[in-house]
Amino acid sequence: MVRKSNSRLQSAAATPRARRRDRQRDAILHAAAQLFRERGFTDTGMRDIAAAADLSAANLYHYFDGKHDLLFYCQDRALDRMLDAVATARRAAASAPERLRSVLVAHVRTLLDDIEGATAHLQIESLPPALRTAIVRKRDRYERALRRLIADGVRSGELIDMDPALVARAMLGAMNWTVTWFRPEGADTAAAVGDVISRYLVRGVAMRTPATKRQLSVVRRPS
């Protein structure tokens, strides 16, 4: 069964019990992340995850039906956060480059700050067909929202006139690739990586205002 998710509605309606359940599910994901990095998704079993999360196998199944349910929860939640970032950017009274950069920063930090998100983000093909279809639909919705944000900037003259679809895919490819090389124990933080990559990508599409010519002042010597 595909679980439907909407982060804003869930957060508004969540009871204390539901919030505790979500915190426990997040703790399980963090515990699973290390195993996924070390062994890979395929070679990690639910008993391994239960041991890493300090839970019994029976208790673990109280929170997730299986590995695929865990993987779906991670990817679905990450996409909700990305969609929320686009919606927030569209409401912001900021320039098109600033709105775009805020979305890119949120994208990278969603992948890298939440370690379980980084580990599982590229594992879409590991999902069974029904769950994979649901994630692909939401992923496509996010990509279309990013394209519209870019297209709006092109129309306003703040972004270079290029194909928004190609620009969006190039940006997504660059950001998603960070999960293959980022290490949380490394020298660079997720925040630093998000800042650098977002600046780099936006700089490539932002319309530059022609530099004004310098006015050479004539210094007159006192007579």
In a domain, 216, yes or no: no
pLDDT at 5 over 60: no
Mean residue pLDDT of the chain comes to 83
pLDDT tier at 166 (50, 70, 90 boundaries)?
Answer: very high
Domain check: are 194 and 107 in the same one? Answer: yes
Domain check: are 59 and 70 in the same one? Answer: no
The 3-state secondary structure of 193-216, one letter per residue: HHHHHHHHHHHCCECCCCCCCCCC
Show the domain range for 192.
66-205
In a domain, 129, yes or no: yes
Q: Which residue has the higher pLDDT, 126 or 5?
A: 126
What's the structural domain count of the chain? 2
Domain check: are 117 and 133 in the same one? Answer: yes
Domain check: are 180 and 200 in the same one? Answer: yes
Domain check: are 111 and 176 in the same one? Answer: yes
Q: Which of 50-54, 133-137, 167-171, 178-182 shows the lowest per-residue confidence on average (mean pLDDT)? A: 178-182
In a domain, 183, yes or no: yes
Cβ pair 128, 68 in contact under 8 A: yes
Q: Which of 30-34, 68-72, 172-176 shows the lowest per-residue confidence on average (mean pLDDT)? A: 30-34
